Amino acid sequence: MIDIALNFYKHLFRREEKPPISLGQDFWRQEELVSNSENELLTVPFSEGEIKEAVWSCYADGAPGPDGLSFMFYHKFWDLIKTDLVDMFNDFHRGNLDLKRLNFAMISLIPKVDEARSMKNFRPISL
């Protein structure tokens, strides 16, 4: 079962060689480029207000996220968790946040038939 899954996912997520394609230096007109002052505004750290606005703009009663919590949790406990959330966003801004930890799942393979021998005979479930 391990060999079947390993080979399937290695093939599915393999790196594909792509031809080098790039835009010419003159593709954008000067007035279309981000100015230095615009760039400064775009690269400042997130403020607590911006983070709260983003959290409050999400549907509170929706399905839980990968952490198992709906946005209702973040709304109700904002005063308790806001410092940790702002710290996480600041770590992201500084490049110190390990994003692999935010995009992680365990995959369990449930056989659909006895003596399954190919991936189509398994139902992958993300935990």
Tell whether 78 is covered by a domain.
yes
Tell whether 34 is covered by a domain.
no
**pLDDT per residue as tens digits for the range 97-107:** 888 776 677 78
Count of domains for the chain: 1
Tell whether 94 is covered by a domain.
yes
Tell whether 5 is covered by a domain.
no
pLDDT at 75: 93
In what helix (H) or strand (E) does residue 84 lie, and over which residues does it extend? Answer: helix 78-94
Tell whether 9 is covered by a domain.
no
Tell whether 105 is covered by a domain.
yes
Tell whether 96 is covered by a domain.
yes
Place of tokens 């709304």: 75
Domain that holds residue 90: 46-127
84 has pLDDT over 90: yes
**pLDDT per residue as tens digits for the range 30-49:** 999 999 999 999 999 999 99
72 has pLDDT over 80: yes
Q: Which ranges of the chain does DSSP label H, i.e. alpha helix?
A: 2-12, 36-42, 48-56, 71-76, 78-94
Tell whether 80 is covered by a domain.
yes
Place of tokens 């007109």: 29
